[in-house]
Structure 1
Amino acid sequence: MHHNTQHTFVTHDQTKLFYQHWASKHTATPTPFKQDQSNHDQSHHAQSTSDKKAILVFHRGHEHSGRMLHLVEELNLPDFDFFAWDARGHGQSPGERGDAPSFSACVKDIQAFVQHIQEQYGIQSENLAIIGQSVGAVMAATWVHDYAPKIRALCLASPAFDIKLYVPFAEPGLRVLNKIKGNFFIQSYVKSNMLTHDLERAASYDADPLIARAISVRMLLGLYDASKRIVDDAQHIFVPTQILCSGSDFVVRRQPQQDFYQKLPHPQKEFHILDGFFHDTLGEKNRIVAMQKIRRFILQCFAQPYRAPDVLNADKIGASCAIAENLSATLPEKSLKNAFWQLIKNNLKIGSLFSTGLNIGEKTGYDSGSTLDFVYRNQTESRNPVGKIIDRQYLNAIGWRGIRVRKQHIEQLFTRYAEKIQQHKPLHILDIASGHGRYILDAVAQLKQPPESIVLRDYSEINVKAGTDLIQQRGLSAIAQFFQADAFDAQSLASIQPKASLAVVSGLYELFSDNDLLRQSLYGLSQAVEQGGYLIYTGQIWHPQQAFIARALTSHREGDAWVMRLRSQAEMDALVEQAGFQKVNQCIDEYGIFTVSVAQKI
């Protein structure tokens, strides 16, 4: 029998979330694994000898960890610890019922939960399996896609990629209302007897005081958006995955579950339709069938050692390579498609006569340091009213909103790790492609004590000049220097003095699809960073306007088309790891576009 204890953990925004732990029969007492907290980023290297295994369980919407309790015995996996949380706004966790700051905040909660389990219980991520149901399954799949954790298995029971009937007036109506009214709540009218044939379980659902029937519209719309993106981009989930689809599900549609499954790249994947099952797949009368499938799948995944996905050559073969290649192919001259994109290009040129923002983009490239600086300033800088309107629309594009969130994430992680370093040793900052350097100098301004040195580098003379002016304006000339240099020159990077304790490479690697270039740069960086130092790096794992950008916008490189190859988080992390770093933290914007990660040189 598993021994049950109840706990809380502190998540990314300092909220305390409730979870339950069932220790495996090998764990005599549930004493949490403790260690020096100041050192917690290295913690999961210290425990690499541990072979403890665990299963994390994520409940469906409206419910809580107590409703998953039966899994612990029914799965009959005595060698595994089990963990189940109450998502925020559910069960015994705080927050308004059925609500959260955003769907992505809940996904980030999973990241914090897993880090907590690694640190407190000494369990490596390679020894984790995930079971998620309905909304919990979508959260788990989004986490695996966005954070690329190295886990052993993912089991999704009726993932709620597309909800049928929570909403009397469909999704577009909700979006309009949300704009007018702000956040509001929708009552679920799914009756317990539409969830399961198990009368006892249905009755306990009706009687459970911890179940709340409402869901907030921002959570619902966040769920829709994340689902669309994850189903669309499932080729970047590199984990053995099993999907259990209920055959008579009144709540969620089957098609997106099948679309998702079709795109999964891992050879070990399974799709099961459980005939006659209602939506509560793991709480159905005949759930023993589901339990046997999950049990076999998890044991089989653990019967072989963990293998990291082979993604280091994704620039030369595979989905992301093929998509980028197709977007860079010229369209037939007389085709409708070509006429459409020519029209859009001409509109941008005309717009640039009025709008400062578009003018900078047309002149210097939409991916240039100058464009980025305009996006960060976030002001309508045109003199004329038409230009002001265009500027505002341009600055509100989803990609630019994501870029500004990325800047906040860089500053947050920069401050956190800079202060961590300053507790023990001097802080030497390095940025190898600084643009104008604004975001780094903004971040430095927030530090309690100044760094020992700041080295900024960029290939562009314009940027070096603008950055040097900024350094003087801010009175940092004594500690900061700006050099013109190539971020892909390994030898030049390796010779940087003093060695950096905190290096940043932001918005650079996303612009180059060739992994060999990144290898050179990261190899040089690993020489430039001292042992135990940190590297902050950015990624772009998805973009809703990839085709628009490739067909309509020009790049800073000789006015070529700006064709982006999107690198999965798993690929980006693997390249950084190959250079001798280990990822310890990560953030992503709520649109799912830009990631900011921290790795430590080991």
Structure 2
Amino acid sequence: MYKNSQHTFCSFDGTELYYQHWESSQNINDKKAIVLFHRGHEHSGRMAHLVQELNLPEFDFFAWDARGHGHSPGERGDAPSFSACVKDIQYFIQHIEQQYGISTENIAVIAQSVGAVLAATWVHDYAPKLRALCLASPAFDIKLYVPFAETGLRTLNKLKGNFFIQSYVKANMLTHDIERAKSYEQDPLIARAISVRMLLGLYDASKRIVNDAYHIYVPTQVLSSGNDFVVFQKPQREFYEKLPHPKKEFHLLEGFFHDTLGEKHREIAIQKIHRFIQQCFTEPYQKPDLLNADKIGFSCAIAEELSSPLPENSIKNKVWQLIKSNLKFGSQFSQGLKIGEDTGYDSGSTLDFVYRNQPESSNPLGNIIDQQYLNAIGWRGIRVRKQHIEQLLRKYVEQLNQQNRTIRIMDIAAGHGRYILDAVNQLPKRPHSILLRDYSDINVQAGQKMIAERELNDIAQFILGDAFDAASLAAVKPKPTLVVISGLYELFNENALITQSLSGIHSAMEKGGYIIYTGQIWHPQQEFIARALTSHRQGSAWVMRLRSQAEMDTLVENAGFKKVDQCIDEYGIFTVSVAQKI
């Protein structure tokens, strides 16, 4: 029935990761696939039994060995970061699409334990058009049993860097299946340890994904083991309850140990997965309706709440007023805070200070404040976003070069233009033209100065322009082949403005050209920003409505583009995506 073969695929950093493919003899015309993700310490061979047991002969099956596991390279139980493994999934699925002609819309994912957290994070952060997601005992919170273990590990990690922790879990704590437990103990490919950076990355991602599960728009089934010695059940339920998709299920499997899909009576779980996947494939893929997410839904409600003033005499209001006063006072010493207070913490001037990334105050106290300010998680993410824009700009300029296309770059809201001009300086060959636009005279003047400093006056110009004026954008000549939209749409809650802007860009661009667009899908300091920081718009409060990646991609797709690539920082805050005019 199935032909098994072993392969590798090239991930984002050039690493060749191992995977197995079980090709169905029945899967000929309308190809469908199930992708399996193993739990921590294990490898693809530990899930191979599911290919036959699931009894879904019309599906191809794929299963990888995560980096640092099984036959894949890397130190055992380690990876550059948890987010790197999530990005590996993105490249694995892209490989399946390109190599086997199976679209994401015809793929279901079955994942267990740590693999389930990786899969859930991928679905949240990259918004794939996945048909179904089945999560078995997702390891959203591991039982470490030692009091304050997580705090201690974080402290040790800061003091001594990365190190490894041996698993306390014995095989007979994972399954009642004696043969499977025995094979676990004897398997030479089992990685007995896990690195502390992977463990802490797992904790951080789990908290974020459980907290923000409202933005996972995929039919999802959660299977929870009733007698799980390894992970807690509470966050599994919390995750499930927040899922917005109407097709969702939670099953408590009484008496099951942690290895849910390797238990003695696993046919109970497998039958539930079989039914769920079959039902999800009874009708074509249905994309979520998110064009009006600015008017109804979770992100709209949160932004509305943060826009509402607090009761004047409430303790909470007094605390926030004190914080605002402290920022105002600190701006007398700190150049970073002064720029934020004077021009807005979301202004081009503030971003340019963040990009420069060095204290610039004229006194020691101000420099200390500057350093702490620049080290805020949001600003760290912004600088990673800049790196991702530069990386993707180089990549897609090269794509256009390979197609013998003229490179004409436009940035519709460039701020001071530092990030785009820095990126251009790294290109192997200068583009034919660069058009930078911004609404602010201050930004235009600063950008013109940077163009002159970099001796780009012969190919670059910086003009006043409204990024939401569709007619103005559509009239740009000559037609750009690569457009950058960075840090702009995140500042405006209304989707009508975004639609207007994208419409103008689509009209302006050559067919086959690319847009690079940013998103802000989550932020740990959303309330702080709304209650304490001011915007560039007449000093009003900076209230962000966080758009899910699925919503942002929907807006771009609705304007006539097809998404082809994406990066995200390790904190899960800022995304940089690429779409092509089709």
Q: Same fold (TM over 0.5)?
A: yes
Q: Helix, strand or coil: the match of 1:531? A: coil
Letter in 2 for 1:117: I
Q: Helix, strand or coil: the match of 1:403? A: helix
Letter in 2 for 1:353: Q
Q: CA deviation at 1:27?
A: 5.3
Q: 1:581 and 2:555 equivalent?
A: no
Q: Work out whether residues 27 and 59 of structure 2, in 8 Å CA contact, stay in contact via their aligned partners in 1.
A: no
Q: CA deviation at 1:168?
A: 6.8
Please name the residue that 1:78 is paired with. 57
Q: Tell me, in whole angstroms, the C-alpha distance in 2 between the residues paired with 1:396 and 1:158.
A: 36
Please name the residue that 2:480 is paired with. 500
Please name the residue that 2:456 is paired with. 476
Structure 2 residue aligned with 1:202, among 161, 167, 181? Answer: 181
Please name the residue that 1:382 is paired with. 361
Q: Helix, strand or coil: the match of 1:131? A: strand
Q: 1:516 and 2:496 equivalent?
A: yes
Please name the residue that 2:550 is paired with. 570
Please name the residue that 1:39 is paired with. none
Please name the residue that 2:15 is paired with. 15
> What's the CA shift string for 1:154-205, capped at 9, x where partnerless?
0000000000027675111111100001000000110000000000000000
Q: Which runs of 4+ in 1 moved over 6 A?
A: none
> What's the CA shift string for 1:243-278, capped at 9, x where partnerless?
000000000000000000010000000000000000
Q: Tell me, in whole angstroms, the C-alpha distance in 2 between the residues paired with 1:168 and 1:554.
A: 41
Please name the residue that 1:320 is paired with. 299
Q: CA deviation at 1:51?
A: 2.0
Structure 2 residue aligned with 1:486, among 466, 472, 476? Answer: 466
Q: What pairs with 1:252-401 in structure 2 (closer than 5 Å)?
A: 252-401=231-380
Q: CA deviation at 1:561?
A: 0.4
Q: Work out whether residues 166 and 189 of structure 1, in 8 Å CA contact, stay in contact via their aligned partners in 2.
A: no
Q: CA deviation at 1:26?
A: 2.5
Please name the residue that 1:31 is paired with. none
Q: Work out whether residues 102 and 218 of structure 1, in 8 Å CA contact, stay in contact via their aligned partners in 2.
A: yes
Q: CA deviation at 1:290?
A: 0.5
Q: CA deviation at 1:141?
A: 0.2
Please name the residue that 2:512 is paired with. 532
Q: 1:596 and 2:581 equivalent?
A: no
Q: What pairs with 1:25-424 in structure 2 (closer than 5 Å)?
A: 25-26=25-26, 51-165=30-144, 170-423=149-402, 424=404
Q: Work out whether residues 166 and 190 of structure 1, in 8 Å CA contact, stay in contact via their aligned partners in 2.
A: no
Q: Tell me, in whole angstroms, the C-alpha distance in 2 between the residues paired with 1:523 and 1:389.
A: 45
Letter in 2 for 1:16: E
Q: Work out whether residues 216 and 244 of structure 2, in 8 Å CA contact, stay in contact via their aligned partners in 1.
A: yes
Q: Tell me, in whole angstroms, the C-alpha distance in 1 between the residues paired with 2:298 and 2:30.
A: 34
> What's the CA shift string for 1:447-504, capped at 9, x where partnerless?
1111111111000000000001111111111111111010000000000011111100
Q: Work out whether residues 192 and 205 of structure 1, in 8 Å CA contact, stay in contact via their aligned partners in 2.
A: yes
Q: Helix, strand or coil: the match of 1:229? A: helix
RMSD: 0.8
Q: CA deviation at 1:365?
A: 0.3
Q: Tell me, in whole angstroms, the C-alpha distance in 2 between the residues paired with 1:212 and 1:320.
A: 40
Q: Tell me, in whole angstroms, the C-alpha distance in 1 between the residues paired with 2:161 and 2:494.
A: 43
Q: Helix, strand or coil: the match of 2:462? A: strand
Q: Helix, strand or coil: the match of 1:353? A: coil
Q: Helix, strand or coil: the match of 2:481? A: strand
Q: Tell me, in whole angstroms, the C-alpha distance in 1 between the residues paired with 2:47 and 2:148.
A: 31
TM-score relative to the length of structure 2: 0.99
Q: Tell me, in whole angstroms, the C-alpha distance in 2 between the residues paired with 1:537 and 1:171.
A: 36
Please name the residue that 2:434 is paired with. 454
Task: Could you tell me which runs of 5 or more consecutive residues in structure 1 were left unpaired when the two chains were aligned.
Answer: 29-49
Q: CA deviation at 1:212?
A: 1.4
> Identity across aligned pairs (percent)?
75
Q: CA deviation at 1:9?
A: 0.4
Q: Tell me, in whole angstroms, the C-alpha distance in 2 between the residues paired with 1:167 and 1:466.
A: 55
Q: Helix, strand or coil: the match of 2:62? A: strand
Q: Work out whether residues 242 and 271 of structure 1, in 8 Å CA contact, stay in contact via their aligned partners in 2.
A: yes
